Amino acid sequence: MVVYEEKYDVVVVGAGHAGCEAALAAARMGCKTLLLTINLDSVALMSCNPAIGGLAKGHLVREIDALGGEMGKNIDATGIQFRILNTKKGPAVRASRAQADKQMYRLRMKYVLELQEKLEIKQGEVTGLHLEEGVVTGVDTKVGVRYPGKTVIITTGTFMRGLIHVGLTSYPGGRAGDLPSIGLSDRLRDIGFTVGRLKTGTPARLNGKTIDFGRLEVQNGDEVPVPFSFSTLSIDRPQLPCHIAYTNERTHEIIRAGLDRSPLYSGIIQGVGPRYCPSIEDKVVRFPEKVRHQTFLEPEGKDTVEIYPSGLSTSLPIDIQFNLYRSIEGLERVEIMRPAYAIEYDYVDPIQLHASLETKPVSNLYHAGQINGTSGYEEAAAQGLIAGINAALRCKGKEPLILGRSEAYIGVLIDDLVTLGTKEPYRMFTSRAEYRLLLREDNADLRLREKGHAVGLLPEKEYRAFIEKKEMIKEEFARLKCCRITPSDTDPGFLSTHGLAGLQNAITYEQLLRRPDITYRELGRIDPCSMEVPELVREQVEIQIKYQGYIERQLLEVDRAAKLEGTQIPRNYDYKSLSGLSAEVREKFIKFSPDTLGQASRIPGITPAAITILSIALKVLKEQ
Amino acid sequence: MYISDTIAAISTPVGEGGIGIIRVSGENARKIAGFIFVPHKSGGLKSHRFYYGRIINPADGTCLDEAMVVLMLAPKSYTAEDVLEIQCHGGYLVVQKILELVLRQGARLAEPGEFTKRAFLNGRLDLVQAEAVIDVIRGKTEAALALAQHQREGLLSRKIADIKEGIAESLALIESCLDFPEEDIEFAGNAEITNLVGNSLEGIDTLLRGYSEGKLLREGVSVLIAGKPNVGKSSLLNTLLKEKRSIVTSVPGTTRDIIEEVVNIKGLPVKMLDTAGIREARDEIEQEGVRLALEKIPLADLVLFVMDASRTFDSEDLLLLDAVEGKAVLVVINKCDLPVILSLPPEFSAWQTVEISTATGYGIDKLCNQIYATFFHGDAVDAREYVAVSLARQRDVLIRSADSLRTFIKNFNEGLNLELVAVDLRDALNAVGELTGETTADDILDLIFQRFCIGK
């Protein structure tokens, strides 16, 4: 083994969506960083859907951006269709989504990595970890180089012992066209990690020239694309449409006829797949009464004819795939450019992580992305960013950045993973966030910019812009609280439109905006000044005023939980010495070894009484 | 687990004492006193002074009881917080009603051992005492758990589970609209959601009416008297009641309906159900009685398997033996004053056996002890307290849940944003979850994926 001459602060294994954020964060925070990938031409590759965002995922991207991550900027620069979802619902569940130009997305990200100071990216397959007394000190590659690193972040995606299935045929691969990573998961198992197996899948890529788009429903992006990043001013790239097609009874018959050669139904696939992203055969079997299933035909880029048919992932044999896709109206002549497949891969049970994403068994080792059992580019990037930040903070001898469940979807994501673990690929949904009304896309900057700045990740220019926005919001609030309308001086037409004809006393603009029927636009009729306030400021002020009641309720709950969340449990706390716990509860505490009382309270099967006993014992410990 | 809120509980054994004490601790204690207590002599309450007056329901001005009240302001109190103690007449319903009144004014029912816990956390107890606190909490929790275990199998918990299911389903319907706007799924109509929620609310209201009539106290623990005809089931019930209520004759198969009576066993109110004799019925009316009896078996917390010492074990006894499989059973051998012929087959060896005679009264005390012991092991535990506490908790939880559901219905009908009304529904669900176990975000997602074909 050749020991490489440089010693890195942070070594990142894997250059997917988690690895890129991790490496950029660490380097931007001033750490000497190395990013290793099996294939330099697959950096930030979108292995599945060529899209970023969606419900809860868009939220994650905005949070990543607010903290100083790259994903939002990258999609803004390479997106080919932008849409805001749920515009008819409230602000908390509005979310951004964009189709990406897949090749441009990966190339831009690679270029950003290449230009980043203090960051080196190299091709190389990591097969082993080098440990000294329970602390990781470097990684070993297949060709015999040891790269020393103070900290190591593993972001292997679906690559560890990846096994690709098309019908009854299977072969090792990290993704179609890429080699798997062999050896690393065995090494992790040897070290003492619990390694499990998950499964996911992707549809075929279709040749757009062989699709009769004229017969399909068109879905266009928003007229004015709204960027993901708080720093992107506008998006002026041309936008491409998606198309909507449907399966039919014949498609379903073809699928049923192929089930005997399905690796899923013949029991060949052992890994657990995601409930929310079933293959088309799964949907047909589980919902036989449904006469059709929808698919969005998404362009993979502006310089390619490849089309991604969402919702049609399958692991059925290739001959079934031909017939399946061609049975769909508009796709009768379709040519498959890349077959659909399922992939099984190793993941490491995330309850073996601290909320910093550092592993419990090995110090200075961090895991992020699909290795932790998640699914999705955004979930991966969010973890990568946190792992990168925390590895860098470790190098600087500082406390880790841990986001609470009330602060960010990233906090919910990581807390769910490290306290509950996961049995299937974990995807974020807004319903997972108990403080959903607080965690909106629109206020991600207000929630997280300060934190990004504090750890040294946010460029000064972006931080100043944020401070300015915050000031303006404050001023606008102050203005609305003191400006009033009086019944005598106000346009009677305005008053009667809004049922205020009988108004006796003056009311403030703030009180006015609280009414469901009065928006800023309406207010503008009697208050021309308000139209001079920047739109993003107005949006923020209006949301906060309109939802004040519910927001305050959630804040109250956050307050109540704060005590538990803030109480740390010492590492290696001896639960055996704690009298008063049932054997079952004690075992759970030992297995999950929670970092805080808050985490402990969320472990399934832990009673409030057990938490009380633990809290008393911790207080005793503290006073001794 | 909240340290800043106000807690309340009955701190005297319920039911038998001359006075009952309700203790309130936390920052709202003084305010609550102001709401519900009207002192005989007007003027405010000074700390650490006893006041005589009336407990008034501020909602309608009715008087619940005369009471002595003492307010102990922080830090000079047991918990080092503001503490209010209300001493009233000791009857179960009075004490319970006053506690409910206190809870409605913004207090929360205390967890077992919570006053002591607060005393400790506020620095009123030393480290040595802390260990004792842990033991108290453990003891009390285990007893409460044991009781909850019995209740879980009972009818009441089934009703609560139904209510919860309805709320969870409506939440799943709403969440599906929020999280999956792009999916090709048919969202539930408003009518379906309001129906589901309406049914749950109705279910809660029905239960709550039961509490206020004191009916559910009796449903705390139920014991079913079963056996073949003419082994003395009704005589047993009457002996326990010490008065004749059901018709007792020596003609087999007389008791055809289910007879319910509440018997006070060592202060624990136990609902006794007397059933028709189990055998191959000879006519339709008897058949109905047997069917009713068999139906009740799964719902009972304990089955008294009554047999006749003067008769042999026969196929009719076997019928019942099959029916009680998996239940908690206490074997009662009656008519021990007569020559003993009965010998029990080996299947009975796992169960406790008590020999009695309803004719002479022999063994009845032992039987009562045994019934009591089935529910509450150990002497340290005051069973009555747990029945009362658990009932108060159920009621408290159900009221909170119903309030949230009403807010939900109002806001939902007014067309408020779905993500806002979801908060009300989640509050309702969390409240009921305190009784039946939590419904996690993942459970809701499960419901969504079961119902809808989702996946892009």
pLDDT in tens, B308-363: 999 988 888 888 888 888 788 999 999 999 888 888 888 888 888 999 998 888 99
User: Of B171-175, B391-395, B439-443, which range is least confident?
Assistant: B391-395
Residue B227 vs residue A624, higher pLDDT = B227
Classified by CATH at the fold level, domain A205-343 comes out as Elongation Factor Tu (Ef-tu); domain 3 (2.40.30)
The answer to whether B182 faces chain A, any CB pair under 8 Å, is yes
Q: B13 pLDDT exceeds 80?
A: no
Q: Write down the pLDDT at residue A210.
A: 98
- What pLDDT score was predicted for residue A118? 98
Mean pLDDT check: name the lowest of A58-67, A183-192, A531-540, B291-300: B291-300
Confidence (pLDDT) at B302: 86
Question: Higher pLDDT residue, B371 or B24?
Answer: B24
pLDDT in tens, A225-235: 999 999 999 99
| Statement: residue B392 has pLDDT above 90 | no
**Chain A positions in Cβ-Cβ contact with residue B121 (cut-off 8 Å):** 615-616, 619
pLDDT tier, B151 (very low <50, low <70, confident <90, very high otherwise): low
Question: Do B445 and A429 lie within an 8 Å CB cutoff?
Answer: yes
* Rounded average pLDDT over A303-313: 97
Least confident of A88-102, A410-424, B73-87: B73-87
User: How large is the average pLDDT for residues A8-28?
Assistant: 98
Decide if A322 touches B, using CB distance below 8 A: no
Which of B124, B127, B184 to mutate to probe the A interface, most A CBs <10 Å? Answer: B184
* pLDDT for residue B318: 85
Shortest CA gap B331–chain A (Å): 31
- Once rounded to an integer, what is the mean pLDDT over residues B265-280? 74
Residue of A597, A616, A622 to mutate when probing chain B, most B C-beta within 10 A: A616
pLDDT at B153 over 70: no
Please give the CATH architecture assigned to the domain spanning A2-198+345-454: 3-Layer(bba) Sandwich (3.50)
- A263-282 residues touching B, CB cutoff 8 A: 275-278, 282
Of A431, A560, A609, the CB nearest to B179: A431
Whether the CB of B5 is below 8 Å from some CB of chain A: the reply is: yes
- Domain boundaries defined on chain B: 7-125, 152-212+383-451, 222-375
Q: Please give the average per-residue pLDDT across B396-416, as a whole number.
A: 92
Residue A129's pLDDT band (boundaries 50, 70, 90)? Answer: very high
Q: Chain A: nearest CA to B216, how far in angstroms?
A: 25
Averaged over A311-320, what is the pLDDT? 96
Q: What was the pLDDT predicted at B444?
A: 82
> Is residue B384 pLDDT above 60, yes or no?
no
CATH number of A567-623: 1.10.150.570
Q: Best-predicted range by mean pLDDT among A56-70, A488-502, A511-525, B109-123?
A: A56-70
- pLDDT for the residue A65: 98
How much is the pLDDT for A93? Answer: 96
Provide mean pLDDT across the span A525-541.
89
Tell me what pLDDT residue B291 has.
82
| Closest residue to B1, CB basis, from A89, A93, A611 | A611
Partners of A607 on chain B (C-beta within 8 Å) are: 141
Q: B247 pLDDT band (50/70/90 cuts)?
A: very low
Contact (Cβ atoms closer than 8 angstroms) between residue B77 and residue B103: no
What average pLDDT does the segment A344-352 reach?
A: 96
pLDDT band, very low/low/confident/very high, at A277 (cuts 50, 70, 90): confident
Where does the pLDDT of residue A117 fall: very low under 50, low under 70, confident under 90, or very high at 90 and above? very high
Q: pLDDT value at position A523?
A: 87
Contacts of A534 (CB under 8 A, 6+ apart): A469, A472
Euclidean distance between CA atoms A101 and A103, whole angstroms? 6
- If you classify domain B222-375 with CATH, what class do you get? alpha beta
Q: Assess A555–B contact: CB distance below 8 Å, yes or no.
A: no
* pLDDT on residue B205: 87
The reported pLDDT for the residue numbered A463 is: 97
Which chain B residues contact residue A619 at CB under 8 A? 120-121, 130
What pLDDT is stored for residue B356 in this prediction?
93
B427-437 residue pLDDT tens: 999 988 877 77
Does the structure show a pLDDT above 90 at B259? no
pLDDT at B2: 43
For B377-388, what is the mean pLDDT? 43
Residues of chain A in contact with residue B183, where contact means CB-CB under 8 angstroms, are 294
Buried-exposed string A355-378: b where 16+ CB fall within 10 A, e elsewhere:
bbbbbbebebbbbbbbbbbbbbbb
pLDDT of A336: 98
pLDDT of residue A216: 97
In percent, how much of chain A has pLDDT > 70? 100
- B456/A311 touch (CB, cutoff 8 Å), yes or no: yes
Judged by a CB distance cut-off of 8 A, whether residue B286 touches chain A is no
Q: Which of A246-260, A269-283, B231-245 has the lowest mean pLDDT?
A: B231-245
Amino acid B390: pLDDT: 59
Which chain A residue shows the shortest CA-CA distance from B177?
A: A86
Average pLDDT score, chain A: 94
**Which residue among A276, A436, A437 places its CB closest to the CB of B455?**
A276
With beta carbons less than 8 A apart as the criterion, state whether A458 and A68 touch.
yes
The predicted pLDDT at position B211 comes to 62
Does residue B276 surpass a pLDDT of 60?
Answer: yes
Residue B126 or residue A388, greater confidence: A388
pLDDT digits (tens, 9 = 90+) for B195-212: 999 999 999 988 887 665
Residue A396 pLDDT exceeds 60:
yes
Cα nearest neighbour of A284 on chain B: B453
- What average pLDDT does range B116-136 have in this prediction? 69
A579 in B contact zone (CB under 8 Å):
yes
The CATH class that applies to domain B7-125 reads alpha beta
Q: Residue A90: which of B183, B417, B446 has the nearest Cβ?
A: B417
Instruction: Specify the residue for token string 């802390």.
Output: B130
pLDDT at A157: 95
For position B139, what pLDDT does the model report? 56
Judged by CB atoms closer than 8 Å, whether chains meet at B446 and A275 is answered as yes
> With an 8 Å Cβ cutoff, are A547 and B420 in contact?
yes
- Per residue, what are the HEC states of chain B? CCCCCCEEEECCCCCCCCEEEEEEECCCHHHHHHHHEEECCCCCCCECCEEEEEEECCCCCCEEEEEEEEEECCCCCCCCCCEEEEEEECCHHHHHHHHHHHHHCCCEECCCCHHHHHHHHCCCCCHHHHHHHHHHHHHHHHHHHHHHHHHHCCHHHHHHHHHHHHHHHHHHHHHHHHHCCCCCCCCCCHHHHHHHHHHHHHHHHHHHHHHHCCHHHHCCCEEEEEECCCCCHHHHHHHHHCCCCCCCCCCCCCCCCCEEEEEEECCEEEEEEECCCCCCCCCHHHHHHHHHHHHHHHHCCEEEEEEECCCCCCHHHHHHHHHCCCCCEEEEEECCCCCCCCCCCHHHHHCEEEECECCCCECHHHHHHHHHHHHCCCCCCCHHHHHHHHHHHHHHHHHHHHHHHHHHHHHHHCCCCHHHHHHHHHHHHHHHHHHHCCCCHHHHHHHHHHHCCCCC
Closest-CA residue of B relative to A87 is B181
pLDDT at A193 over 80: yes
Average pLDDT over residues A452-474: 96
Distance of CA B262 to the CA centre of its chain: 15
Which residues on adjacent β-strands are paired with residue B55? B37, B65
In sequence order, the 6+-apart residues with CB closer than 8 A to the CB of B366 are B354, B356
Residues in B 401-430 with any Cβ partner in A closer than 8 A: 417-420, 422-423, 426
Contact A158, A176 (CB under 8 A): no
**Which of A250-254, B93-97, B344-348 tops mean pLDDT?**
A250-254
Q: How many CB atoms lie within 10 A of CB A274?
A: 19
Q: What is the pLDDT of residue A435?
A: 96
Residue-level pLDDT at A531: 86
**The CATH number of A460-551 is which of 3.40.1050.10, 1.10.10.1800, 3.40.50.300, 3.30.930.10?**
1.10.10.1800
Residue A71 pLDDT exceeds 50: yes
pLDDT of residue B446: 81
Domain B152-212+383-451 classification at class level: mainly alpha
So what's the pLDDT on residue B239? 86
Per-residue tokens: B98: 């006053």
Report CB contact under 8 Å: B111, A609: yes
Query: Is the pLDDT at B244 greater than 70, yes or no?
Result: no
- Asked whether the ipTM of the predicted complex exceeds the cut of 0.95, the reply is no
The Cα–Cα gap between A488 and A496 comes to 13
Q: CA–CA separation, A358 vs A408, rounded Å?
A: 19
A418/chain B closest Cα distance in angstroms: 15
- At B119 the pLDDT is 81
Q: Which residues of B touch A436 (CB under 8 A)?
A: 419, 422
Q: Which pLDDT belongs to residue B220?
A: 53
Please indicate if any CB of chain B lies within 8 Å of the CB of A613.
yes
* Pair B175, A431: CB distance under 8 Å: yes
pLDDT value for B385: 46
- Give the helix ranges, DSSP H, for A29-78: 57-67, 71-78
Q: Residue B182 is nearest to which of A85, A547, A613, comparing CB atoms? A: A85
Predicted pLDDT at B395: 78
pLDDT greater than 80 at residue B132: no
Considering CB atoms only, which of B1, B182, B419 is closest to A601? B1
Is B416 or B43 the better-scoring residue by pLDDT? B416
- pLDDT at residue B71 in the model: 94
Q: What is the pLDDT of residue B376?
A: 57
B-chain residue closest to A624, CA distance: B127
